[in-house]
Amino acid sequence: MIRKISCIMAIMMVIAGLSGCSSKPASENKTADLGVSADNQLLAYFKTQHPDREPVKCAYDDITNDGGKDLIVIFDNEKGKKQMCAVIAKENEKHQLTEPIPAPAENQKIQFKDIDEKDELEFIVSGSKNGSVGYAIYRIVDNQIINLFGEGMEDCCD
């Protein structure tokens, strides 16, 4: 029970933190920092796999609980829609890309948070579209991005 309450509190704190940052104008996205250095190895790998997709926001941490940092990429797809995928770092073999899923159209933000304090590090993606704000918590399960919990994503995603 206590565990459940602390989990809910963690989510509430995250939501409070996110809502404070959602008022940035969309135009800042263009010039805003990607979230990782331009020479990030996994970002370079993503670009070799998808030269026609333009990354707009990234985050870099270990989301597969194997000690190696992975990359989350929100990008413009070939139709100009925002999508998101993860580049899962593999040692001694090819990195692996997850299936793309819809991502927020504007004001994208990626935050890492170990929501249940065990196993994989979860991550929270938030953003907006035409003033509608949404967010969701994700975890990598079997090399796919799984939506655990969220609100308003269908209104803020492309």
Where on the chain is the footprint of Ca ion (CB under 5 A)? 62, 64, 66, 68, 70, 114, 116, 119-120
Select 37 or 68, whichever has its Cβ closest to Ca ion: 68
From 49, 56, 92, select the one nearest 74 (Cα to Cα): 56
Report the nearest approach of Ca ion to the CB of residue 53 (Å): 22
Cα separation, 88 vs 109, in Å, equals: 19
Q: Answer for the pair 110, 86: CB distance below 8 angstroms, yes or no.
A: no
Q: Answer for the pair 126, 103: CB distance below 8 angstroms, yes or no.
A: no
Select 124 or 156, whichever has its Cβ closest to Ca ion: 124
Report the nearest approach of Ca ion to the CB of residue 62 (Å): 4
Question: By three-state DSSP, how is residue 153 classified?
Answer: helix
Q: Answer for the pair 82, 103: CB distance below 8 angstroms, yes or no.
A: yes
Report the nearest approach of Ca ion to the CB of residue 135 (Å): 17
Name the residue whose CB lies closest to Ca ion.
64
Select 64 or 98, whichever has its Cβ closest to Ca ion: 64
Report the nearest approach of Ca ion to the CB of residue 6 (Å): 13
